[in-house]
């Protein structure tokens, strides 16, 4: 057997360890389709299929959650051995289970409290409007002990952290309905790091966990959960990768913050009106939106087209804007190197762009409760750091990683 | 390599109009960008994208072109898929026919 489940030598809880040296491309294990737990494979699949329109919701996760709720209370569920390996549902680490004030205080500015609050509202509303009525309508399939909002929330966190989804096709301009998540026993035991050495592949008869790098004997096998920033890891999975391990870490600059920074530079009403016109135009171009953010990675700007267009449109002289608006970008035939904006290009920007970006970063840094130095001090002082609670340590890593990226931008826009 | 001219005449506004042709830029592979690119939508959180299952691409994908009407009052955009080709080139030199 090439792999073994272990609590030893893994980053957290259970993990998988290579029993022998593994080569890149080698099959680690395969999971037959019959082992998957999804609305289609569970023992109430016919009912869920029949009722699917009643089970529609914004999340799209209700059928899977009902499948889990049913199988958990079924005395002889096929998946009982799988459930035995689950983490303790009462001990999940996601911020959605932290006390509200702690979550807001520790993660202020990171985007996590807002995301969690939205989740909690949606979880509550879907439970009460769709899930509970369904369970009460089929009482023989859902014993009273599973008709619990608390359990539902725990299962949502479990689905966030353990489920899998096929990646969406990138061919279409339209956003396709995402495939619904499903549970893949064995595969979900693998932990994640940025520099992973395995991934899960789809094939007709089974799902295959394949090595993507050579793995020495005794080393942990790491799947990838995607190119995840620490704020997303803590939100969805309840853990972070400590600095500097997470090379996928990012910081967000809210799009409205850039507008605000530009607004700061206006002195008269006429200028403010013109700014509004430029902003509305960017909205029309679908480059910006009220809820959106520019995403900055460690080496490159992820949302490069949106940021470049925004800086250009907000900084161009009024006559140029009038012309630009009429021609709607017909002139920009010389877009070289589309799809890539390394942060090292930022010092080459014209002064007006650098200034606007800089002001936006400064406004963003103000949204955090503390500055970079404070977090740096906490990390540097081993004694103080060791006394922090697990949550405090994790939140520190989320804040710190984002602030490092933002401070780097400050240097690049000097 | 497939050559596509940068300005193509096709039907719009009731007649054949010139259209600016650009290659539709694929969203990057990153799951992360799928989310935040589209205004912090559903990609993280309840209902969002979870651990990926990868499909191996057996054949090269379709190339999506974006046609934009140059008529200033119209400027309508539409997508056009052309047959698979690994190296699409916009406006490159016309290849000479082999003799």
Of the three residues A206, A237, A268, the one that is the final residue of a domain is A237
What's the domain range around A406?
250-412
pLDDT confidence of B41, banded at 50, 70, 90? very low
pLDDT confidence of B8, banded at 50, 70, 90? low
A199 has a chain B CB within 8 A of its CB: yes
Query: From residue B56, how far is each of A205, A208, B30 by CA, in Å?
Result: 14, 11, 16
Strands (E) in A219-355, as ranges, are 220-223, 250-254, 293-297
The verdict on A172 and A274 lying in the same domain is no
Identify all chain B residues contacting A178, using CB atoms and an 8 Å cutoff: 42, 49
pLDDT at B4 over 70: no
Among residues A163, A192, A184, which one has the least CA distance to residue A59?
A163
Q: Which residue in A61, A166, A295 is closest to B47 by CB distance?
A: A61
Total of domains in chain A: 2
pLDDT top residue among A347 and B84: A347
Identify all chain A residues contacting B70, using CB atoms and an 8 Å cutoff: 330
Beta-carbon separation of A201 and B53 below 8 A: yes
A160 min Cα distance to partner chain B (Å): 6
The verdict on A201 and A302 lying in the same domain is no
Output the domain CATH number for residue A287. 3.90.1420.10
Strands (E) in chain B, as ranges, are 2-4, 7-12, 15-23, 51-53, 63-69, 77-82, 88-90
CA nearest B37 in A: which residue?
Answer: A303
Burial class for B53, CB neighbours closer than 10 Å (0-12, 13-18, 19+): buried
pLDDT in tens, A20-77: 999 999 999 999 999 999 999 999 999 999 999 999 999 999 999 999 999 999 999 9
The verdict on A125 and A213 lying in the same domain is yes
What is the structure's pLDDT at A176? 59
CA end-to-end span of chain B: 19
Of the three residues A214, A237, A260, the one that is the final residue of a domain is A237
A192 part of a folded domain: yes
pLDDT top residue among B98 and A240: A240
The verdict on A162 and A294 lying in the same domain is no
CA nearest A114 in B: which residue?
Answer: B45
What is the structure's pLDDT at B35? 38
A408 part of a folded domain: yes
A243 part of a folded domain: no
CA end-to-end span of chain A: 56
The verdict on A232 and A362 lying in the same domain is no
The verdict on A195 and A50 lying in the same domain is yes
Alpha-carbon dihedral A123, A124, A129, A132, rounded to 10 degrees? 90
DSSP state string for B43-63: TSSTTS--EEEBPP--SPPPE
C-beta atoms surrounding B91 within 10 Å: 12
What ipTM was estimated for this complex?
0.91
The verdict on A212 and A259 lying in the same domain is no
Output the domain CATH number for residue A7. 3.90.1410.10
CA nearest B47 in A: which residue?
Answer: A59
pLDDT top residue among A41 and B20: A41
What residues form DSSP beta bridges with A32? A206
Identify all chain B residues contacting A160, using CB atoms and an 8 Å cutoff: 45-46, 48, 50
Quick one: what percent of chain B has pLDDT higher than 70? 27
A245 part of a folded domain: no
In contact, A172 and B24? CB cutoff 8 Å: no
Beta-carbon separation of A160 and B45 below 8 A: yes
Of the three residues A237, A264, A287, the one that is the final residue of a domain is A237
pLDDT confidence of B69, banded at 50, 70, 90? confident
pTM of the model: 0.84
The verdict on A299 and A199 lying in the same domain is no
A175 has a chain B CB within 8 A of its CB: yes
Rounded Cα distance, A192 and A183, in Å: 16
State which residues of chain A have pLDDT below 70. 1, 9-11, 168-178, 328-338
The verdict on A177 and A198 lying in the same domain is yes
A244 part of a folded domain: no
What is the structure's pLDDT at A170? 56
What residues form DSSP beta bridges with A200? A209
Rounded Cα distance, B33 and A228, in Å: 9
A390 has a chain B CB within 8 A of its CB: no
The single-letter DSSP state of residue A131 is I
- Token pair listed for A224: 């990838």
Q: Which residue in B44, B53, B72 is closest to A200 by CB distance?
A: B53
The verdict on A226 and A301 lying in the same domain is no
What is the structure's pLDDT at B6? 61
Identify all chain A residues contacting B27, using CB atoms and an 8 Å cutoff: 170
Q: List all residues 6 or more positions away from A208 whose beta carbon is below 8 Å from its beta carbon.
A: A27, A29, A30, A31, A200, A201
A242 part of a folded domain: no
A93 has a chain B CB within 8 A of its CB: no
Packing angle, helices A230-237 and A112-126, rounded to 10:
30
Summary mean pLDDT of chain B: 62
The verdict on A289 and A255 lying in the same domain is yes
A359 part of a folded domain: yes
A304 part of a folded domain: yes
The verdict on A153 and A221 lying in the same domain is yes
The H-assigned helical ranges of A108-172 are 112-126, 132-137, 149-162
């Amino acid at each position: 057997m090439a792999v073994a489940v272990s609590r030893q030598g893994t980053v957290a809880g259970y993990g998988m360890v290579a029993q022998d040296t593994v080569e890149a491309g080698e099959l680690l294990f395969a999971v037959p389709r019959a082992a998957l737990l999804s609305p289609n494979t569970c023992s109430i699949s016919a009912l869920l299929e029949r009722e699917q329109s009643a089970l529609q919701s914004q999340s799209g996760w209700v059928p899977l959650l009902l499948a889990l709720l049913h199988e958990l209370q079924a005395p002889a569920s096929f998946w009982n051995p799988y459930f035995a390996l689950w983490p303790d549902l009462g001990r999940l680490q996601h911020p959605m289970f932290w006390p509200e004030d702690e979550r807001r205080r520790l993660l202020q500015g990171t985007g996590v409290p807002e995301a969690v609050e939205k989740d909690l509202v949606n979880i509550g509303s879907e439970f009460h409007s769709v899930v509970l009525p369904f369970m009460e309508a089929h009482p023989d399939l859902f014993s009273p002990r599973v008709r619990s909002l608390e359990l539902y929330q725990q299962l949502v966190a479990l689905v966030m952290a353990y489920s899998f989804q096929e990646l969406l096709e990138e061919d279409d301009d339209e956003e396709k309905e995402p495939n619904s998540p499903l549970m893949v026993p064995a595969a979900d035991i693998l932990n994640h790091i940025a520099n992973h050495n395995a991934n899960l592949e789809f094939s007709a008869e089974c799902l295959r966990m394949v090595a993507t790098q050579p793995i020495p004997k005794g080393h942990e096998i790491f799947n990838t959960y995607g190119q995840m920033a620490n704020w997303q890891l803590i939100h969805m999975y309840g853990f972070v990768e400590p600095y500097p391990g997470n090379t996928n870490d990012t910081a967000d600059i809210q799009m409205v913050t850039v507008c605000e920074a530009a607004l700061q530079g206006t002195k008269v009403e006429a200028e403010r009106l013109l700014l509004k016109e430029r902003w509305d135009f960017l909205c029309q171009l679908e480059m910006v939106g009220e809820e959106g953010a520019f995403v900055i990675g460690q080496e490159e700007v992820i949302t490069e087209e949106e940021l470049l267009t925004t800086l250009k449109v907000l900084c161009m002289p009024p006559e140029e804007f009038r012309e630009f608006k009429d021609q709607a970008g017909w002139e920009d035939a010389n877009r070289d190197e589309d799809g890539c904006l390394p942060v090292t290009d930022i010092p080459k920007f014209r002064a007006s762009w650098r200034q606007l970006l800089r002001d936006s970063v400064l406004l963003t840094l103000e949204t955090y409760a503390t500055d970079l130095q404070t977090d740096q001090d906490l990390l540097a002082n081993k004694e103080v750091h060791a006394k922090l609670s697990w949550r405090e340590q994790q939140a520190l890593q989320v804040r710190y990683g984002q602030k490092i990226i933002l401070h780097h931008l400050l240097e690049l826009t000097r | 390599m497939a050559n596509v001219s940068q300005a193509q005449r096709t039907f719009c506004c009731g007649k054949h109009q010139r259209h600016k042709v650009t290659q539709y830029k694929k969203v990057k592979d990153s799951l992360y960008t799928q989310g935040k690119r589209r205004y912090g939508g559903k990609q993280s959180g309840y209902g969002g994208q979870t651990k990926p299952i990868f499909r191996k691409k057996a054949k090269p994908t379709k190339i999506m072109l974006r046609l934009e009407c140059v008529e200033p009052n119209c400027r309508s955009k539409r997508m056009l898929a052309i047959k698979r080709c690994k190296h699409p080139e916009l406006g490159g030199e016309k290849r000479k026919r082999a003799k």
